[in-house]
Amino acid sequence: MTNTNTDKIVIKGIPAKFDPNELERRQQQSQWAYTQTSQCCEIIRAAIPFNFLSVIAEKINAGYELSSKYPITMESLNYSAHLVKPPAMQKADIAIINNDVRTAYKAELEADHAKYQNLLLEQLLQAEEQKQVKAAASAKEKLLARLQKEVADCYAPLVFPEA
């Protein structure tokens, strides 16, 4: 017994198109996440208080600020603090984030388009295979009819006498 696939492929909907508002929404969402998490900070750690305070002083002079969101740890041999990056560094980070979001959005759209192209290819292939199956069945029926006629022409009808 042959196993035939009778599920007809049907394409529903259309692939997503580029929407500048969606890109902007995604970028703003990522920017908000950047500013609300430790991504906008640099963590300073040191085991010795003098080294820790020296690095903090250097960073403050370079434009960093102490973060009010995260606590400063002043445990023995474990000194750490989150410092918010200067605006210029944050701007550069946000430019990278925006580019990453744009690249991810483009990849998502390309994947969606590829999915629809593959579905259309499968649908067209399935339709062509169905046409070939119908054509083969029709050709077989015609051949069978022709051969039955030849067989009937070769033999005279059976005559059986009545008793």
User: pLDDT tens across 52-89, in order?
Assistant: 999 999 999 999 999 999 999 999 999 999 999 999 99
The Cβ of residue 33 has, within 10 Å, a number of other Cβ atoms equal to 12
The predicted structure's pLDDT at residue 5? 55
Query: Which residue stretches of the chain are H helix?
Result: 20-36, 49-61, 87-154
Question: Does the pLDDT value for residue 2 go beyond 50?
Answer: no
The predicted structure's pLDDT at residue 161? 82
Provide φ and ψ at 81, rounded to 5°.
-155, 150
CB of 82 closer than 8 Å to CB of 45: no
Residues in the chain: 163
**What is the mean pLDDT of the segment spanning 35-59?**
96
Question: Does the pLDDT value for residue 160 go beyond 90?
Answer: no
CA-nearest of 98, 88, 81, 9 to 44 is 81
CA-nearest of 38, 37, 40, 51 to 79 is 51
CA distance 56 to 80: 10
Question: Does the pLDDT value for residue 115 go beyond 90?
Answer: yes
Enter the DSSP assignment of 62: T
